[in-house]
């Protein structure tokens, strides 16, 4: 990553860095959890544009849409599509998190890569969905800033891990097989990053990283986009420890994860998803001791119960993240699966007034 490039939006980048020096910043909570509360049907995901079983705005040469054309896929659960079909709903969720005290909201673009959208037959929407998602997040931030003069809010352009892994085979009988490649991922991530920047994202976040090779492809693609535009945005990276082994799916510890990506010189390194704050703490502690950049933590609301729900209360989550802050471990806190505006309000209050973590000097880490 060429950190010599100028900021694409100097005022916002410098404001973010200034805020980081002063306090712990609060990231929003789960988008999916909030969408599930609405009990949407498949027709809700389609909206008017996709009501006929295909994209009315996308014409395919020499192709007649019909019942047997293969374009119609069940879109239930395609949360990212709601940025086009139900932008009002997505905007309301962003607004609720900002009202709860979040400083940063994440765009509804977790699966908006060509790779993941192929599951729904909508890979042609990748750049449009990223732009729309970032635009909605930025609009919510603008509205919050107007309501409270002097407040600064930031739109995070989210780049998810995709539904494929470059390091592991999905077929136990063919360990050498890969369902994707570095170059395929690079192109998909590049398209996503272009869209997020088009939509006005203040920051890019490569998040829920379970395979470091995927993350490397994303960071390489982002660097290409920055070079092409002659300017850059701050970049955050957040991995996920998949289970009690303390490793990512591709086998790395938190320490190895950081050293594998340190060369990109991100704004922050952190962990999210899979685990609750209690289980995540030792791994956040590891990052805090060795990373000379900011550290983020946005855990789940505990571990899922037998029904796949999350039982951790806002007070429980906030109490644990307050301890993270009191121990000097974090610069960003927030929530992932199972967290709500109530969780974020409690977290924001819990860390209010506590000093941000001070990254160690490189000489101290070497």
Q: Considering only CA atoms, which of 183, 90, 89, 103 is closest in space to residue 144? A: 103
pLDDT at 365: 45
Stretch 138-150: mean pLDDT, rounded?
97
- Assess contact for 34 and 366: CB atoms under 8 A: no
Band of the pLDDT at 167, cuts 50, 70, 90?
A: confident
pLDDT at 299: 97
pLDDT at 180: 87
Q: For residue 132, is pLDDT > 70?
A: yes
Stretch 164-186: mean pLDDT, rounded?
84
pLDDT at 309: 85
Residue where the block lists tokens 């101290």: 364
- Residue 353 CA to residue 330 CA, distance in Å, equals 13
Among 54-68, 189-203, 206-220, name the one with the lowest average pLDDT: 54-68
The string of DSSP codes covering 170-211 is: S-TT-TT--SS-HHHHHHHHHHHHHHHHHTT-SEEEEEEES-
Q: Based on the number of CB atoms within 10 Å of its own CB, is 175 exposed (0-12), middle (13-18) or buried (19 or more)? A: exposed
Beta bridge partners of 209: 239
- pLDDT tens profile 273-291: 989 999 999 999 999 999 9
């Amino acid at each position: 990553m060429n950190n010599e490039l100028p900021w694409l939006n100097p005022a916002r980048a410098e404001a973010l860095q200034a805020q980081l020096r002063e306090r712990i910043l609060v990231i929003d909570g789960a988008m999916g959890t909030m969408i599930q509360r609405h009990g949407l049907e498949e027709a809700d995901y389609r909206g008017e544009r996709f009501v006929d079983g295909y994209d009315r705005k996308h014409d395919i040469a020499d192709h007649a849409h019909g019942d047997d054309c293969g374009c119609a896929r069940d879109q239930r659960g395609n949360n990212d599509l709601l940025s086009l079909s139900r932008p009002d709903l997505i905007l309301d969720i962003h607004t609720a998190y900002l009202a709860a005290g979040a400083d940063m909201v994440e765009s509804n673009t977790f699966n908006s890569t060509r790779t993941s959208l192929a599951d729904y037959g909508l890979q042609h929407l990748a750049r449009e969905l990223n732009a729309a998602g970032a635009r909605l997040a930025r609009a919510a931030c603008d509205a919050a800033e107007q309501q409270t003069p002097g407040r600064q809010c930031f739109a995070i352009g989210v780049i998810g891990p995709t539904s494929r892994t470059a390091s592991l085979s999905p077929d136990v009988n063919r360990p050498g097989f890969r369902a994707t490649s570095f170059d395929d991922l690079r192109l998909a991530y590049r398209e996503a990053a272009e869209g997020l920047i088009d939509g006005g994202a203040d920051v890019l976040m490569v998040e829920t990283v379970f395979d470091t090779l995927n993350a490397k492809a994303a960071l390489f693609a982002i660097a290409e986009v920055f070079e092409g535009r002659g300017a850059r945005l701050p970049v955050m990276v957040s991995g996920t420890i998949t289970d009690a082994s303390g490793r990512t799916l591709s086998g790395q510890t938190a320490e190895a994860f950081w050293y594998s990506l340190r060369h990109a010189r991100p704004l922050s390194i952190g962990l999210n998803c899979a685990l609750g704050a209690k289980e995540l703490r030792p791994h956040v502690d590891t990052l805090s001791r060795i990373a000379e950049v900011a550290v983020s933590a946005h855990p789940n609301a505990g571990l899922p119960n037998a029904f796949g729900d999350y039982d951790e209360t806002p007070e429980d989550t906030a109490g644990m993240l307050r301890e993270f802050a009191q121990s000097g471990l974090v610069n960003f806190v927030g929530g992932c699966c199972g967290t709500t505006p109530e969780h974020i309000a409690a977290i924001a209050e819990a860390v209010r007034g506590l000093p941000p973590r001070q990254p160690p000097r490189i000489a101290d880490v070497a």
